[in-house]
C-alpha cells in the first residue's frame, strides 16, 4: 500500500496561507498529529519524505533513523504567492491558475510540472508498495497529484480536493492500475 501522509500542522497552515517552499516548523499540534499517525498506521517497509523540514519532522515519527528524502515530493513552488492568503490572490490569477495546468505563478512552478514529477515518483514506488506499506510524507499539492495519478485524472482535478493537515491517503498499487482506497483520512 502506498500511504501518503500530509505533514502535521504549521502556523501557516493554521492561518490558511499558501505555504509552498517556505518551511515553517510544525506547531505543537503538528508534532502530536505526526506521533499519533505513527502510532496507528502500519509499520512501513519504507518511509520517504519531502526535503522540507515540516515533512521530515512528520516522517521522523515513522522512522526516526530511516527516512529517505526524495526531492520529487517537495511542495509546489508558489513563487511570489508563497505565504499569501488565497483571498489576497487577484481573481484573474486565481482563475487562470485553477483552469490552466501550465500556468506558472511569478517565480513558481506549474501544476503540470508537479504532476509530472509526482507521477514519476509514484511509478517508482508502486512495486515496493504492492509488496509492503510505503509511507510518503509530503504536502497538499504533491499528494493531490498522486491521487490524480491513481484515479487517472487531469492535473486540474486536484483543485476540487481538500486534504486536511495530517490527512492520510491510501493507494493500492497491487492491481493492474492503482486504486484509491482512502482520501484525507485522519488516520
Each of the 187 residues of the chain gets a pLDDT tens digit; together they read 999 999 999 999 999 999 999 999 999 999 999 999 999 998 999 999 999 999 999 999 998 778 999 999 999 999 999 999 999 999 999 999 999 999 999 999 999 999 999 999 999 999 999 999 999 999 999 999 999 999 999 999 999 999 999 999 999 999 999 999 999 998 7
Q: Give how far the C-alpha of residue 68 lies from the chain's centroid of Cα atoms, to the nearest Å.
A: 15
Indicate the Cα dihedral angle 20, 26, 27, 32, nearest 10°: 130
3-class DSSP state of 83: coil
**Domain coverage including residue 149:** 2-185
pLDDT of 63 reads: 86
DSSP state of 35: H
Residue 143: predicted pLDDT: 98
Q: Phi/psi of residue 94, each to 5°?
A: -60, -45
CATH number at 91 reads 3.40.50.1240
Q: What is the residue-averaged pLDDT of the chain? A: 96
Give how many domains the chain has, as a whole number.
1
Sheet holding 179-185, edge to edge: 67-69, 46-49, 134-138, 2-6, 168-172, 179-185
pTM of the model: 0.96
Residue 76 to residue 80: CA distance in whole angstroms: 12
The alpha carbon of 49 is separated from its chain's Cα centroid by a whole number of angstroms, namely: 10
Burial code of 45-68, b = ≥16 C-beta within 10 A, e = fewer? ebbbbbebebbbbbbbbbbeeebe
Residue 65 has a pLDDT of 74
- DSSP-based three-state secondary structure for 80: helix
Amino acid at each position: 500500500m502506498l500511504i501518503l501522509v500530509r505533514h502535521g500542522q504549521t502556523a501557516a497552515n493554521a492561518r490558511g496561507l499558501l505555504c509552498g517552499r517556505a518551511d515553517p516548523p510544525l506547531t505543537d499540534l503538528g508534532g502530536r498529529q505526526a506521533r499519533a499517525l505513527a502510532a496507528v498506521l502500519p509499520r512501513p517497509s519504507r518511509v520517504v519524505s519531502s526535503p522540507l523540514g515540516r515533512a521530515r519532522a512528520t516522517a521522523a515519527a515513522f522512522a526516526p533513523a530511516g527516512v529517505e528524502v526524495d526531492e520529487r515530493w517537495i511542495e509546489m513552488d508558489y513563487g511570489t504567492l508563497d505565504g499569501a492568503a488565497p483571498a489576497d490572490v487577484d481573481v484573474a490569477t486565481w482563475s487562470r491558475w485553477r483552469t490552466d495546468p501550465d500556468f506558472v505563478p511569478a517565480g513558481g512552478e506549474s501544476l503540470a510540472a508537479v504532476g509530472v514529477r509526482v507521477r514519476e515518483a509514484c511509478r517508482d514506488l508502486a512495486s515496493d508498495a504492492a509488496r509492503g506499506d510505503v509511507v510518503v510524507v509530503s504536502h497538499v499539492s504533491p499528494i493531490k497529484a498522486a491521487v490524480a495519478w491513481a484515479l487517472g485524472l487531469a492535473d486540474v482535478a486536484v483543485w476540487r480536493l481538500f486534504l486536511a493537515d495530517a490527512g492520510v491517503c491510501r493507494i493500492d498499487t497491487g492491481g493492474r492500475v492503482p486504486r484509491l482506497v482512502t482520501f484525507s483520512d485522519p488516520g
